[in-house]
Amino acid sequence: MTGLTRKCQYALRALYFLAREYGKGPILIHYISAHANAPPGFLQGILFELKKAGVVESRRGTQGGYYLRKSPDQVTVGSIIRIIDGPLITLPCVGEREIHPCADCHDPDACQTRLLMRGVHEAVTAILDHTTLLPICKTPDAPEHALGARESQVSVAVGMFQEA
Q: Quick one: pLDDT at residue 4? A: 87
Decide if 28 is inside a domain: yes
How far apart (Å, rounded) are the C-alpha atoms in residues 32 and 16?
A: 10
Average pLDDT, the chain: 81
Residue 137's pLDDT is 76
Q: Using alpha carbons, select from 76, 79, 85, 78 the residue that is nearest to residue 135.
A: 76
Residue that wins the pLDDT comparison between 71 and 109: 71
* pLDDT, tens digit (0-9, with 9 covering 90-100), for 4-35: 899 999 999 999 999 999 999 999 999 999 99
Nearest to 128 by CA among 107, 147, 111: 147
* Residue 164 within any structural domain of the chain: no
Which residues neighbour 60 within 8 Å (Cβ) at sequence distance 6 or greater? none
Q: 32: domain CATH number?
A: 1.10.10.10
In a domain, 1, yes or no: no
3-18 burial, b at 16+ Cβ within 10 Å, e below that, comes to eeeebbbbbbbbbbbb
Q: Range of 136's domain?
A: 6-159
Rg of the chain over Cα atoms, rounded to whole angstroms, equals 18
CA dihedral 138, 140, 145, 149 (to 10 degrees): 50
Please give the average per-residue pLDDT across 128-137, as a whole number.
88
**pLDDT tens readout for residues 57-83:** 999 988 889 999 999 999 999 999 999
Lowest mean pLDDT among 100-114, 122-136, 146-160: 146-160
Does residue 154 fall inside a structural domain? yes
The pTM of the full predicted model, rounded to 2 decimals, is 0.78
pLDDT above 70 covers a percentage of the chain that reads: 77
Q: Band the pLDDT of 116: cuts 50, 70, 90.
A: confident
pLDDT tens sequence across 81-92? 999 998 877 666
Look at the chain and report how many structural domains it folds into. 1
